[in-house]
Structure 1
């Protein structure tokens, strides 16, 4: 296959989606540059799960062996009451494993980010670049940053998260021309929050579960309250945890108000303050830790710099592109973060776009890109929506309280519905996407 000639891509955002896009473009022989608004990349978060279909892509990119070293295969999810009574279990291995040749892998999100970042040549990523304008000519697109630096390419990929500056610039122009759909003008929906963290290395003699080769997720549900706690053993003798529930302090804001956003695209100010973490974590003080001791032992063993707040936001946007600008990941479909749906869907977005871009043997016209981008949306939007709906249903299943909610949980955990099994095992895709310009993954070759 001919390599794309003289094609240059500007990627806005140095998160997981932006880094994966850069790695894929590099393998495709396409020139790119990543612009990140933060002056220093400081990945936060807790654990992340990558689905079997994603692992095939990692195999093609030559990343799988290293990623196996920083992750554990997902064995299952056990749901417990706050006092330790088992309520049910979902087997994440299932009979679908033979179809994919892999199990989902669970790892530290900061570890994954740092690993992918190391794969990007330093001259291909520039930090401290807040994008404030995007302009186009018939053949090129120019990105202007707040420090008045400019970058020129043939297309812009907005991989800058839920509060995407790329999307805001694109939408403002569509709004000015009266062609932005009403649904895209509405802000993100969020009604829940969580505090997440990763402990420092713990003593495996005290917590023998750390020596297990696979990861069993424990979900603790509070009684007569909407709070839950998730605990996941990771590589490196660490445990990831998440304490979450509805946030009565949140006041929805219009996304055009950037004054309250931090450099990583998350909300800051009135909804993120030290007392928030204390308040949320106090709700689980009496929860029984399934590994002995108390759940507060795990929270207290977490360095303050590895504790962060996450808003459980969601929104499926209708408009994913305009002109020479296209969106991927959270910028166009923000999914409630359960079992890596957001990250996995973002990576699939990247693979879909790169497969199409590699077909060009010369820089594309704006008309060429319009056709490509629409095919990308047609290919990805339905699967992304299924993933979003499944994540929302699972969030409601976990956080809702009352007799009916308890009954629903008991039924679901005894007779796992297809939508939940697909979400956990990563089989929301009926096909197995791969990078067409690279040799097929080993799991494909083994069946030939």
Structure 2
């Protein structure tokens, strides 16, 4: 049964979650429009991993060949001391036997550009800062800061951890006394990192760039919480991440706002209720401009100056080969929200479950959210408020559990890497020698028993012969 002809979806945010949602809706024959706060899209970030469990969805969308050309299959994760002594290795290729696919590692900006290229120009409007939403009997009127308005049957908040959509929705629920206390608590962050991606390097100097697969190297500092992650990407580039816990981050949070943070963010206060207007937060998971200080990265990177580079030379050679525009200082926030929808408004991705970003859990979970929601929208009997509420409740029931598993697994892996001391060293040694089920589940996907698909498209093929 085709979706209702009068169904129109407004997506707030043109990050990875919003773009993949738009592509899926287009394949489903559902009218949609994406509203993005930024006037010019500038993809941020370095590397990203897509789990095997989402690869079939990518295949159904006809993106697998192009995505494979941008990426390398993840072969394993090797953990080393700062002096280069091997502590252990996790072989991720076992996922191929279980799922018939392997995880893919690629440049995040490359992935964003690929997804953006699949969105028709008339379906995306930039420079649209959402400041208000008013529900009517047949839909939702969205108001932007420039006083322009957009009307849709439903609104999907894909606008990241500091979601304006979520805040507008929560403001209304709070006034009605219907918002759980846990949802009023701020995001939690006790870690920060600096990430970067080098310019193209000489493969003669770094032969690892010639490999067809990707092996992640994790370097652990002795008697300090700082670690460094290094991984080769397509295009002769190397992605890296330096960081660790910083307990001082927790002291900067204010409980007065559901989206307050330890950084200077436009999402800190003054958000409107669902029927009025005011200031709005960042979209698409982007950080406020005050977060991106390439110069301030130096003090964090100094902690790894004496780390031995697994590719030869110094790790500082890799850091210094990174253009300033590709260096970012970020917080690693996390929070599972209890309320994912209200009326005709629903959240996906980081807007409803912000996961510590280890091995692409956030992106993969956002793709799974989008697929689940689009399947339900495709089977929607009508655009009545009752039918929409029913599918939103079903969406939450299906996706909240797996998202919680992903969040918990990522947190456990982060603690495994960053904890210090004799007991922590022993735990790492045991875990890396006898990889537990939860760790493999986290790396290869939260579910190896199910392979989610888009119900309205032909089943994915298994014809791609390049997977090795």
TM-score, length-scaled by structure 1 = 0.96
1:198 aligned to 2:218?
no
CA contact (8 A) 2:282 2:288 kept: no
1:383 aligned to 2:376?
no
CA contact (8 A) 1:190 1:252 kept: no
Counterparts of 2:33 and 2:26, CA distance in 1: 10
Q: Give structure 1 regions of 4+ aligned residues with deviation exceeding 6 angstroms.
A: none
What does residue range 82-161 of structure 1 map to in structure 2 within 5 Å? 82-94=82-94, 96-161=95-160
Describe the shift of the 1:256–1:52 C-alpha distance in structure 2 as closer, same or farther (beyond 3 A). Answer: closer
1:252 aligned to 2:253?
yes
CA contact (8 A) 2:292 2:330 kept: no
| Correspondence for 1:418 among 421, 434, 437 | 437
Residue in structure 2 matched with residue 26 of structure 1 by the alignment: 26
What does residue range 34-433 of structure 1 map to in structure 2 within 5 Å? 34-94=34-94, 96-247=95-246, 250=249, 251-253=252-254, 254-257=257-260, 260-261=265-266, 263=282, 265-268=285-288, 273-360=293-380, 362=382, 364-433=383-452
Describe the shift of the 1:267–1:67 C-alpha distance in structure 2 as closer, same or farther (beyond 3 A). Answer: closer
CA contact (8 A) 1:195 1:308 kept: yes
CA contact (8 A) 1:5 1:360 kept: no
Report how far residue 2 of structure 1 moved: 2.4
Counterparts of 2:365 and 2:302, CA distance in 1: 33
Counterparts of 2:406 and 2:163, CA distance in 1: 20
Residue in structure 2 matched with residue 13 of structure 1 by the alignment: 13
1:436 aligned to 2:455?
yes
Counterparts of 2:125 and 2:290, CA distance in 1: 30
Counterparts of 2:191 and 2:291, CA distance in 1: 12
Counterparts of 1:270 and 1:395, CA distance in 2: 26
Report how far residue 385 of structure 1 moved: 0.4
* SS at 2:449 equivalent: coil
* SS at 1:189 equivalent: coil
Counterparts of 2:19 and 2:402, CA distance in 1: 22
Describe the shift of the 1:30–1:422 C-alpha distance in structure 2 as closer, same or farther (beyond 3 A). Answer: same
Report how far residue 43 of structure 1 moved: 0.8
TM-score, length-scaled by structure 2 = 0.92
Report how far residue 406 of structure 1 moved: 0.7
CA contact (8 A) 2:154 2:345 kept: yes
Report how far residue 6 of structure 1 moved: 1.8
Residue segments in structure 1 that go unaligned for 5+ positions in a row: none
The C-alpha deviation readout for 1:243-271, integer Å capped at 9, x for no partner, is 01123553224454596248555554776
Report how far residue 273 of structure 1 moved: 3.8
Describe the shift of the 1:58–1:274 C-alpha distance in structure 2 as closer, same or farther (beyond 3 A). Answer: closer
Report how far residue 423 of structure 1 moved: 1.1
Report how far residue 442 of structure 1 moved: 0.8
Counterparts of 1:148 and 1:248, CA distance in 2: 42
Report how far residue 426 of structure 1 moved: 1.8
The C-alpha deviation readout for 1:111-159, integer Å capped at 9, x for no partner, is 0001100110111111111111011012111110011100001000000
Describe the shift of the 1:269–1:117 C-alpha distance in structure 2 as closer, same or farther (beyond 3 A). Answer: closer
* SS at 2:309 equivalent: coil
User: Number of matched residues?
Assistant: 444
CA contact (8 A) 1:2 1:361 kept: no
Residue in structure 1 matched with residue 275 of structure 2 by the alignment: none
